[in-house]
């Protein structure tokens, strides 16, 4: 099933997405590999990732390489960014691990935050966040978490269990029920310090709002510049796995609290992206509108594309079950810890 079909068939997370203040588009899978050019540049990553976006993705990519991609797996032609999350696996009855089929993604760009100003407590209709700056890299979530804590960073990652009836259930943890499909969701921090395009922990140059919630509000004085919020949905076909308790993320996370997302900015026209909330959303406007700054009314098919640099020659479970998770990650946490 194509990601377009998935998106049309499944409910939207209405608590996060308002059609008047966002646009979204489908992205097909680009590659599945044990690489993370943000956290582990030039070396094998700590765990396997599912990656979408620009075809220039590789372990050693520089911050500005993404926008030079020849193609993208996303439906907006000028978005050569790369986005990734840890791959989901299933533990079989014989103890081996099999990769859960990754079906593609949806990327949402939202008007949710506003710049810091003294005594400002709410955003108003005149507030529009800027496009993410060229070369920006960031991470949302913590791969080492195995228990729930009520922080913005924790609540910015979540899961949606989608069942055959069309119903859905929202949890921070991996689900505690069988799901026809699973949607892994990451919301990125939307407040920038205005100086750094990355930081040692790949997070400190960014912040969630100081007033409001993780997904909307006024930026803090330390990170005064609001950028368009990015929200990712990664879809997995879990219909073959009624034993939901055996779903585990690539870093060995049995709880789901360690879900995280990475972003490398590769938009080729940041002026167009900066105008997109005004020209591609709200009222009768959409990505199909002729005046939409990032599409000119034309979406391209979201489809698999060939990497410009071949993926490392490592079996990460796409050819069959594995005795160990790639990177030899032990399974940690407990299904009983899936409490939120």
Give strand ranges (E) for 1-152: 22-27, 29-35, 44-53, 82-86, 88-91, 97-99, 102-110, 113-114, 137-141
Q: Is residue 11 predicted with pLDDT exceeding 80?
A: no
Would you place residue 284 in the very low, low, confident or very high pLDDT band (cuts 50, 70, 90)?
A: confident
Would you place residue 161 in the very low, low, confident or very high pLDDT band (cuts 50, 70, 90)?
A: very high
CB-CB neighbours of 288 under 10 Å: 11
Mean pLDDT of 211-221: 97
Residue 168 near residue 181 (C-beta atoms within 8 A): no
Which one, of 49, 101, 50, 106, lies nearest residue 74 by Cα? Answer: 106
Would you place residue 12 in the very low, low, confident or very high pLDDT band (cuts 50, 70, 90)?
A: very low
Q: What percent of the chain has pLDDT over 70?
A: 94
Residue 235 near residue 85 (C-beta atoms within 8 A): no
Residue 266 near residue 83 (C-beta atoms within 8 A): no
Mean pLDDT of 243-256: 98
Q: Is residue 6 predicted with pLDDT exceeding 60?
A: no
Distance, CA of 183 to CA of 103 (rounded, Å): 10
The per-residue pLDDT for 164 is 84
Beta bridge partners of 82: 53, 264
Q: What percent of the chain has pLDDT over 90?
A: 91
Beta bridge partners of 27: 74, 105
The per-residue pLDDT for 20 is 57
Q: Is residue 306 predicted with pLDDT exceeding 70?
A: yes
Q: Is the pTM for the entire model greater than 0.75?
A: yes
Query: What digits encode the pLDDT tens for the residues 142-152?
Result: 999 999 999 99
Residue 67 near residue 54 (C-beta atoms within 8 A): yes
Token code pair at residue 178: 């069988």
CA angle 196, 197, 202 (to 5 degrees): 95
Average pLDDT, the chain: 94
Mean pLDDT of 177-198: 98
Query: What digits encode the pLDDT tens for the residues 39-74?
Result: 999 999 999 999 999 999 999 998 889 999 999 999
- Contacts (Cβ under 8 Å, ≥6 apart) of 79: 25, 53, 54, 72, 107, 266, 267, 268, 294
Distance, CA of 172 to CA of 157 (rounded, Å): 6
Would you place residue 259 in the very low, low, confident or very high pLDDT band (cuts 50, 70, 90)?
A: very high
CA angle 286, 288, 293 (to 5 degrees): 75
- Contacts (Cβ under 8 Å, ≥6 apart) of 84: 36, 49, 50, 51, 52, 261, 262
The per-residue pLDDT for 9 is 38
Distance, CA of 311 to CA of 204 (rounded, Å): 30
């Amino acid at each position: 099933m194509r990601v377009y079909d998935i998106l049309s068939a499944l409910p939207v997370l209405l608590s996060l997405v308002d059609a008047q203040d966002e646009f979204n588009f489908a992205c097909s899978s680009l590659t599945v590999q044990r690489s993370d050019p943000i956290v582990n540049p030039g070396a094998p990553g700590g765990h396997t990732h599912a990656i979408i976006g620009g075809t220039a993705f590789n372990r050693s990519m520089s911050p500005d390489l993404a926008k030079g991609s020849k193609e993208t797996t996303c439906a907006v032609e000028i978005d050569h960014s790369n986005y990734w999350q840890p791959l989901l696996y299933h533990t079989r009855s014989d103890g081996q691990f099999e990769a859960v089929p990754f079906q593609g993604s949806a990327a949402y760009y939202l008007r949710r935050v506003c710049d810091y100003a003294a005594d400002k407590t709410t955003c108003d209709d005149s507030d529009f966040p800027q496009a993410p700056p060229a070369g920006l890299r960031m991470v949302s979530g913590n791969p080492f978490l195995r228990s729930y804590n009520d922080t913005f960073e924790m609540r910015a990652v979540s899961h949606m269990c989608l069942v055959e009836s069309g119903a859905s259930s929202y949890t921070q943890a991996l689900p505690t029920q069988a799901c026809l499909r699973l949607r892994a969701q990451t919301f990125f921090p939307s407040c920038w310090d205005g100086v750094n395009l990355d930081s040692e922990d790949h997070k400190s140059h960014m912040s969630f709002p100081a007033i409001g919630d993780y997904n909307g509000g006024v930026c803090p004085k330390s990170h005064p510049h609001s950028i368009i919020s990015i929200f990712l949905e990664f879809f997995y076909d879990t219909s073959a796995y009624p034993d939901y308790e055996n779903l585990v993320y690539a870093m060995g996370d049995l709880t789901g609290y360690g879900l995280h997302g990475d972003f490398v900015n590769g938009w080729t026209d940041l002026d167009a992206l900066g105008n997109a909330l005004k020209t591609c959303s709200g009222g009768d406007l959409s990505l199909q509108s002729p005046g939409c700054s990032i599409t000119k009314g034309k979406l391209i098919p979201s489809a698999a594309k060939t990497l410009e640099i071949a993926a490392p020659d490592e079996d990460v479970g796409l050819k069959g079950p594995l005795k160990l998770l790639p990177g030899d990650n032990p399974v940690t946490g407990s299904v009983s810890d899936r409490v939120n």
